[in-house]
Each structure stands twice: as C-alpha cells, then as structure tokens.
Amino acid sequence: MGNQKQAREERLKREIRRYIRSNPECTASQIVAHLSIDLRMRNHGLTPRKVGFFIPRYVNDVDWRLDSSTGKRLYSLAE
C-alpha cells in the first residue's frame, strides 16, 4: 500500500474514533456527515454503506449494536 493511501486510511480511522468517542450511539450516516461536511473529507468518496463496511473491518476498538426500532447500527467505543 502506498504512503498516501495508508496515511489517508489512518486519518479516517482516527477521525471515526474521535467522532464516536464524543458522540456514542451514532449511526454511519452521522459519521459520514461529520467527516464529509464538517471535516471537508469530500475526496474520500465516503457513503454510509462504505463506512458501515469499513468500521468492523479496520477499526478494532469500535463496537456496534442494532437499534430495534430503526434497524440501523449504532456505533460506540469498545469498553
């Protein structure tokens, strides 16, 4: 993997952890909105679906539970 791609992935992991730490029980849509709008990470091509696949695969210290009323995953940091 190239240095720029690896650095971009590490920043994405760090920003996801930071957002979940400050906003527990958040959805992938909320994470994507924060990353793309607030942090201006628009060139990453982020969608809630991509983030939903990315978190369990690459961000080890984040857990999720399924919300029974909406059917969405709610993310929080592992304890």
Question: Where along the chain do its domains lie?
Answer: 3-77
Give the domain 3-77 fold. Arc Repressor Mutant, subunit A (1.10.10)
Residue 43 has what pLDDT?
Answer: 74
pLDDT beyond 80 at 7: yes
pLDDT beyond 80 at 44: no
State the residue for tokens 């091509």.
Answer: 45
The pTM score is 0.89
Distance (Å, rounded) from C-alpha 36 to C-alpha 69? 27
pLDDT band at 2 (very low <50, low <70, confident <90, very high): confident
CB 31 within 8 A of CB 17: no
